[in-house]
Amino acid sequence: MSNANKDAIDRIIIEIVNADASNTFYLDNLFARWAPDAPTINRVTSLSPDSIQWGWTDNSSGVDQEDEFRVYSSTGGLLATRTADTTFWIETGLKRNKEYSRYIQAYNTAGSSNSATITWRTKPGAFQSKSAQGQPTRTGPNAFGFVGDAVWEWDVPVKSGSALTITAYIRYNSEYGGSTTKPKLTLSGVGISPTSISATSSAEDAWELLTLNPGTPSQNSILTLRAEGFSTNTGARFYIDDINISQ
């Protein structure tokens, strides 16, 4: 049995012999159960400041088909179970702008296999300009920590007739890549012409102040401030903080 095919044991022959006669019995098409192959986490999305969607590839079928998937924290705490063939889970109730590490386990009665552990960050809260609201405070090199090719957006309420200025600090780490297109901010929406500004090499491992001057909005509206990175390098991160909206 040690050399049995993984997918099926075609035939076992049992022969019973006594002094008078012998009989042979054939047991056909016997299937062995094997532990499932490890899933692969292949997509993760920050849906909001308090939720992340974890997605994976189901790498098992046939005799090693999983009975269920289990989602674990990096410390081994069971967070959720998902039925066989399911390939995503939306985790809610998280804290904004915080990193979370998870791995996925494929399980059946023969055993289990784990994916690699993946870390992702929830979105920061949107800062909306209000006279009674204080400015957000930069919290250091991990403020807002976007992965290298992330795209995140904020709502920016504005009024017509007053010049608009937006400033923000930006930085990226050395893993981002000095020759890669630099992260940029873009402001767009009704009542203004789209305006963009990109980081420079000064923003590598240091905060750089960027200023957007889109002019005077022609009407009251909610504009979109978009932060966009372009690096797919392993370990690449870029950061935005201290967004200030002045009008």
Report percent pLDDT > 70 for the chain: 79
* pLDDT tens sequence across 201-224: 999 999 999 999 999 999 999 888
* pLDDT tens sequence across 73-116: 999 999 999 999 999 999 999 987 788 999 999 999 999 999 99
* pLDDT tens sequence across 17-47: 555 655 655 555 555 579 999 999 999 988 8
Domain hosting 195: range is 146-246
Residue 27 in domain: no
Residue 117 in domain: yes
pLDDT at 17: 58
Verify that 111 and 196 share a domain, yes or no.
no
Most confident residue range from 69-73, 132-136, 166-170 = 69-73
Dist CA 29 CA 33 (whole Å): 13
Q: How many domains does the chain have?
A: 2
What CATH number has the domain bearing residue 75? 2.60.40.10
Residue 91 in domain: yes
